Structure 1
Amino acid sequence: MSFNQPCEYVRKTDEKHGVPMTIYWTEEELADWICEIGYPQYRVCFEKNFLSGRHLVYLDASKLPDIGITDFEHIKDIAGKIRGLIGLDHVIKNLSIAKSNPMIAYMDMKRKSGDVAMNIPYNEFLKKNKRWYK
Structure 2
Amino acid sequence: MTSLTECNCLQGDEPEHWRYVLCSIRQEISREEAALKELRTVESGQRKRSRLTDWITRKWKRRTGAPSTHVTTWSKEDVANWLTSLGLSQYASQFKANDIRGHELIHLERADMKDLGVLKIGHAKRLQSAIAELREKDMELRRESRRSGRKGASLSVERAPVETAPELPSLSSI
Q: Give the TM-score normalised by structure 2.
A: 0.40
1:68-87 to 2 correspondence within 5 Å?
68-87=117-136
Q: Which has the larger radius of gyration?
A: 2
**Gap regions ≥5 residues in structure 1:** 1-19, 89-102, 107-120
Give the SS at the match of 1:130.
coil
Structure richer in helix, relative to its length: 2
Instruction: Provide the C-alpha distance between the structure 1 equivalents of 2:97 and 2:86, rounded to a whole number of angstroms.
Output: 19
2:101 corresponds in structure 1 to: 52
Contact persistence 1:56–1:86 (CA under 8 A): no
Choose which of 61, 67, 78 in structure 1 pairs with 2:110.
Answer: 61
How far, CA to CA, are the matches of 1:37 and 1:75 in structure 2? 12
Distance 2:104 2:163 in 1: 22
Residue of structure 2 aligned with 1:131, choices 165, 169, 172? 165
- How many residues in Structure 1 have an aligned counterpart in Structure 2? 83
Q: Which runs of 4+ in 1 moved over 4 A?
A: none
1:1-134 equivalences in 2 (<5 Å):
21-87=70-136, 130-131=164-165, 133=167
- The two structures, once aligned, show a CA RMSD in angstroms of 3.1
Task: Provide Cα deviations, 1:81-114, integer angstroms capped at 9, x if missing partner.
Answer: 01101118xxxxxxxxxxxxxx5xx9xxxxxxxx
Aligned residue for 1:38, secondary structure, equals coil
Q: How far apart, in 1, do the equivalents of 2:73 and 2:129 lie?
A: 19
| Aligned-pair CA distance for 1:67 | 1.3
Q: CA deviation at 1:130?
A: 3.1
For the 8 Å contact 1:25–1:53, the answer to whether it is kept is yes
